[in-house]
Structures are given as structure tokens and as C-alpha cells.
A = this chain, B = another copy of it.
Amino acid sequence: MSPFGLLPMRAWASLFSQVLRPSGLVCIREVHFHSQVSEAVLTSQLKPHQEKSNFIIKTPKGTRDLSPQQMVVREKILDMVVGCFKRHGAKRLDTPAFELKEMLTEKYGEDSGLIYDLKDQGGELLSLRYDLTVPFARYLAMYKVKKMKRYQVGKVWRRESPTIVQGRYREFCQCDFDIAGQFDPMIPDAECLKIMCEILSGLQLGDFLIKVNDRRILDGMLAVCGVPESKFHAICTSIDKLDKISWNDVRHEMVAKKGLAPEVADRIGDYVQCHGGVSLVEEMFQDSRLSQNKQALEGLGDLKLLFEYLTLFGIAEKISFDLSLARGLDYYTGVIYEAVLLQTPAQAEESFNVGSVAAGGRYDGLVGMFDPRGHKVPCVGLSIGVERIFAILEQRMKTSGQKIRTTETQVFVATPQKNFLHERLKLISELWDAGIKAELLYKNNPKLLTQLHYCEQMGIPLVVIIGEQELKEGVIKLRSVASREEVAIKRENLVAEIQKTLSES
């Protein structure tokens, strides 16, 4: 039986594969499985004599509980992602939820303000981790690990203005895969892109594209366009907005707000509006300005090699060299990439851009920032944006109206008679001890109809029924909830018969 019970594997597959209305980037709206979520902010009135003001029962801003239905979807996604990481030979690592505050400083640029600090309660100054990359680099430096292919799944925390409607939370789950070590160029980088393709295809999220660029090309481009080095960061931030606002608006911001000369902005515009495949890499090699810049040439050389490997992996057509891709984080030093979905789920009322669903890049200097002697360990990796993928699949499930089982119970122990609790307890204990997933109602004398109704409601496939008559004859009735057929089986064969029935279904 499918672990999703009521939802057979075929239906589950169709859930992942459902064809979406193609119209640019994915547009979805936030969906809640809790019908009560809209009323979830409740006021708890304490008894008057406690003289305490009313308080509101809620989760902290930007965070949420995940209901059992949501957890089923979440775990399905994580299983697929982790399955892919294991297929590529990664080991699992875990690090604490918080780090010494100083471990996180000077790693995230402008985003540092979004780090959650812990209160100074007399001891070390601590911060909640902002991603899984910096803790990984800290781990490599601390244990002097020079080579490692690891994955990590865990929550990270960022004090962003939560626009929950876009699937942005202050607490969210990341799935990271990274390859650390000195290797021949672009082989691990190409594997990272292959992994992103495998995961996005595997989750059947619809068509997607991975934008690729290189920090060195970006810096080289800014330099040859005439941007003063002091403005690189600010201009990158503007360029990064090109997936949300038009070039004209970005240009205006560069000139009016960031004081760039209009002709410099126009030169940038010529580049950042370019995207294409390996032919664009060749074109840029010939570019009169870019070809003068050593850094840019190095980046272009690596991208050319990367495309060679991507072709061998059969994924080159999924990759777009995009000169507007900047990526916010400070620690990237080479190739960077970001996956976006190209389709729109049907029936979305209010549409929005889910943004990137996976991203990553090369960060060759980060480990060295932790190492006592500054020894570098080159790294490249990727992070899967589980929350956004989750929002898409949750929406799809809601649209499809499919019911998901939240338990895996195989057998329910029922009785039509009063005073049969002892027999039910003995019986269910036998089932549990045999590894069979079983439940009963916590009532001394439940009605048979209530018991059978519970099975239908919960999608439990089998019921064993014991009563006066059965007890006398040394038998048990085994009932199929779907067909309502019942067979009498010998009490002593109970476990074997159930196992047989379950293995056949």
C-alpha cells in the first residue's frame, strides 16, 4: 500500500505531474490546510483575579505550525531531495541551530541585519544560523576537513519582513548539498547543476530554467562599464532586481538614486539584458570591452567548460547564461546559479512570482575566513528552497481536492459488544508486537458504527472484529473497509493472515 493511503501512488504521481497553465513565472497564492488559520489569532482571557492583560495565542511573526497534512507533503519533498543528495554520494551533517555571533559576522553583507541574535543571558553572544553554508564552512575549518561532499537539512532564521503571501517566512527549511575540496575545474560545479535539475524534474514542478553567471564576469562587466569599485555592491543590488522590475526602472534607480552616469548605466544595460546558452559565452569572449578584463575572461573560460559538462549531462538546454544574475550573499567567488519555474499553476486567483526555488554557487574564500592560518578550501554548493516548492505542491493538492492520509494505520481493532476492552487490548498488543500498525478507540464500550466510521474517515484498510461469538469459536473476523467483505480466520493465524492480506493489497 502507498504510504499515503487514501491517495494511491498513481494519484500522488499525478499530483506532482499535473500540467500547469504556461504563462510566464509561477503564480500561486498562499493556501492553508488549517481552515481555522484565519481565526488563529485568538485572545486568551485569563481569569480576572490573575490581573494579567489578555494575551494572543499565535506563533511568532513570520513563523507557522505545520499540520499533519502539511507534514505529509513536506516529508515527501524532503525524501525526494535527500534521495537525490544520497544518489550523488553525499554524507549527512548536522550543526547547532545557533552559532557564536562572531562566526556569522562579515559573511552576509547587507543582509547581516536580518540575523536573529539571542539575548545576552550571561555567557557567549549567540545568533541563530542564517543559512547552512556558513556553519558548514565553520565545520570544515574547525575540524580541518579538506574534502567533503555533505548534505544538511534544517531550519534557518532570517528577520525579513514576512510577506507570507509569497511563501516567505522568518523560519524556513533549507536543504543544502555542497562539495568541498580542491578538484579539477567545473566538475563539481556541473554536478551541482545536475542535482538541481534532477530535483526539480523529480518534484514535477513544471518547466524550469537555471540562470547561471559568474561573480568574476559580473565584477569584470562593472569594471569595463566604468562603475567605480566603491559602487559595485550597490549596483549589483539594483541589477538583482531585474527579475522583478523592468530595466528602465533599474536604470532609473542606478542613475537617480545611486549616482551612476547615464552612459555607464546604458553600457550595463547592454550586458544585463543578455541571456542565452553557450553561444552567448562565445559572444562575450569576443566582446571588445569584456575581453580586456582578466577576471571576466577567467569566468567566461570556466563557464565554457561548464557548458561542455552540462551537455554531457544532457541538461545544457535547461541552463541560461544570464548576465543579470547577481545573488545577494557576499561569500560567492565564482559561478552562481538560480533556478526559476516557468509555469503557472491553474486556478491561482491572485498571482505572484515565487522567485527562485533553488540556488547556489562557488565560495572559495569562506572556509579560509575561519581557518587560523587562512588556508582555503574551495567549495561549491546549492540550496533547495523547500518552502516555495511546498507552497506550490500544497496549492496543487488543494486544487485537486485529493485527500491525504496523515497516518499509516493498517488495521483497526473493533468489537460490536460491550465489555470487550480486555480482548481488544490483548489483540492490539499482539499486532503491535508483530510490527503491524494498529489502532483502537480509547473507549470502554464504543459503538461498532463509530468504530467503522473512524476507519473510513481515516482511510484504515482493515478491521479485525472480535465479539462473544468469535471468542467462543476461537476466530476473528477480518473485514475490508473498502469492500465491506468479512472473512473469519483462526485466532492463532491472525498476524499471519493480516500480513498476507496487507502484502497482497
A-side interface residues toward B, CB under 8 Å?
A: 34, 36, 40, 42-45, 47, 55, 57-61, 63-68, 70-72, 74-75, 86-100, 102-103, 116-121, 123-124, 126, 128, 138-139, 141-144, 150, 155, 157, 159, 171, 179, 181, 183-184, 187-188, 190-191, 194, 198, 309, 312-314, 370-374, 406-409, 421-422, 425-426, 429, 432-433, 435-439, 442-444
Contact = CB atoms under 8 A, between A and B. Distances in A.
Nearest to A127: B119
B171 A96 contact: yes
Contact of A96 (B65, B88, B138, B425): B65
A194 B429 contact: yes
Contacts of A184: 442-444
A433 to B, nearest CB: 8
Contacts of A408: 86, 89
26 contacts: A36-B143, A42-B141, A43-B372, A45-B373, A55-B102, A57-B103, A57-B370, A57-B372, A59-B142, A61-B124, A66-B95, A68-B150, A71-B94, A86-B407, A86-B408, A87-B437, A87-B438, A117-B118, A119-B120, A181-B442, A184-B442, A187-B443, A188-B442, A190-B425, A312-B422, A314-B429
Contacts of A102: 55
Given A44-B371, A155-B97, A407 B313 contact: no
Given A44-B372, A142-B40, A374-B47, A91 B63 contact: no
Contacts of A444: 184
A75 B181 CA distance: 26
Nearest to A92: B71
A423 B143 CA distance: 35
Contact of A93 (B66, B100, B188, B407): B66
A90 B438 CA distance: 10
A93 B117 contact: no
A223 B86 CA distance: 59
B71 A312 contact: no
A93 B116 contact: no
A432 B61 contact: no
A420 B77 CA distance: 36
Nearest to A440: B187
B118 A407 contact: no
Contacts of A191: 442
Contacts of A139: 65
A259 to B, nearest CB: 29
Contacts of A121: 116-117, 159
A193 to B, nearest CB: 12
A358 to B, nearest CB: 17
Contacts of A437: 86-89
A408 B97 CA distance: 26
Contact of A99 (B59, B64, B100): B59
A425 B92 contact: no
A63 B124 CA distance: 12
Contacts of A370: 44, 57
A129 B324 CA distance: 41
A447 to B, nearest CB: 14
Contacts of A67: 93
A421 to B, nearest CB: 7
Given A87-B436, A91-B71, A409-B89, A63 B96 contact: yes
A143 B432 contact: no
A124 B446 CA distance: 46
Contacts of A142: 40, 42, 57-59, 65
Given A99-B59, A183-B443, A194-B429, A93 B71 contact: yes
Nearest to A71: B92
Given A179-B442, A443-B184, A100 B58 contact: yes
A408 B309 CA distance: 24
Given A118-B116, A198-B432, A432-B198, A143 B40 contact: yes
A187 B442 contact: yes
Contacts of A144: 36
A90 B407 contact: yes
Nearest to A56: B100
Contacts of A44: 141, 370-372
